[in-house]
Amino acid sequence: MAASSRDVYLVIGGSGFLGRHIVDALLARNDAVSVFDIVQRHHDVPFYSGDISEEGQVSDALRKSGATCIIHTASPPHGMDDPALYWKVNVDGTKAVIAAAVATGVSKLVYTSSAGVVFNGESLINVDERLPPPPKAMDAYNESKAKAEEMVLEANGKGGLYTVALRPAGLFGPGDRQLIAGLYEVYQNGQTHYQIGDNTNLFDWTYIENAAYAHLLAADRLRPLSPEEVAELKEQLQYALPY
Ligand code: NAD
């Protein structure tokens, strides 16, 4: 199997917070990388302007860039009152990315899901990636992310494409335009005197460069497994936390 350094990357959503850090990390190890996004920001790398819900635009970018690995981070931000947009981008768009990947012979697809896809409003302690999404999603964003994740994982091994989905928690770090801006807005609006719960609630956060690095590791490890490797993994999982 080709080493990751020989992959050619297309970062979809590469103008975003996470996407730009993934591009930085790829450039730092001298990988060939292009960006596909609806807006252009940050990098002087080959840029393909397009919308992921247009399969032809994604296919064009894949052919022109020669990408062998897609890292798909694109999504509208959480918190919008627009279920149709979430469905169009995250579900129809991800479906189009998968179809374009198979049609152009891409071998790897790394999808950025979200820890929110398994949140049901109750405390989740020591859960891992085996926890499935709840029957009713918290909101349209998480519903669409869960559906996209499911489609990406179902596509694994089909048409020569190998896939993986990551569920990062809340992202923070340089370049953030949502988290700190949102907290500051709360402060500016004088809404800081509300308390939810008894002040012992915990929440998971992931530093942005760690999240970006996780995407590179996932891409590097993504390959077909031999039956022996599958058996070994199943054995290991038996000793992990049961759900
Ligand atoms: P972001 O808004 O900074 O970046 C998303 C990028 O996707 C933007 O550059 C945007 O232009 C692009 N995009 C949106 N719609 C598109 C479309 N139709 N076609 C092409 N490009 C499109 O968001 P982010 O914070 O970097 O999040 C990246 C990913 O991580 C998202 O998939 C998000 O769901 C996931 N995630 C984010 C957080 C967080 O705390 N920010 C937490 C968990 C998961």
Read off the pLDDT of residues 164-183 as tens digits, 9 standing for 90 and up: 999 999 999 999 998 888 88
Return the pLDDT at 234.
81
Answer yes or no: is the ipTM higher than 0.95.
Answer: yes
The verdict on residue 145 lying in a domain is: yes
- Quick check: CB of 14 below 6 Å from ligand 1? no
Do 89 and 82 contact (CB within 8 A), yes or no?
A: no
The verdict on residue 213 lying in a domain is: yes
Q: Give the residue numbers spanning the domain of 144.
A: 4-177+204-238
- Can you tell me the distance from the alpha carbon of 31 to that of 215, in angstroms, rounded to the nearest whole number? 14
> For residue 61, how far is its CA from the centre of ligand 1 (angstroms)?
19
The verdict on residue 185 lying in a domain is: no
Read off the pLDDT of residues 21-61 as tens digits, 9 standing for 90 and up: 999 999 999 999 999 999 999 889 999 999 999 999 999 99
Do 146 and 139 contact (CB within 8 A), yes or no?
A: no
Residues in the chain with pLDDT < 70?
Answer: 1-5, 239-243
Return the pLDDT at 243.
47
Phi, psi of 150 (to 5 degrees): -60, -45
In a 10 Å sphere around its CB, with 0-12 CB exposed, 13-18 middle and 19+ buried, how is residue 7 labelled?
buried
Question: Which protein residue has the closest C-alpha to ligand 1 atom 21?
Answer: 37
The verdict on residue 51 lying in a domain is: yes
CATH number at residue 126: 3.40.50.720
Return the pLDDT at 198.
86
Query: Where do runs of H (alpha helix) occur along the chain?
Result: 17-28, 55-65, 83-86, 94-103, 140-154, 179-188, 208-221, 227-238
- Can you tell me the distance from the alpha carbon of 202 to that of 199, in angstroms, rounded to the nearest whole number? 9
Based on the structure, what is the number of domains in the chain? 1
Ligand 1 atom at minimal distance to the Cα of residue 14: 9
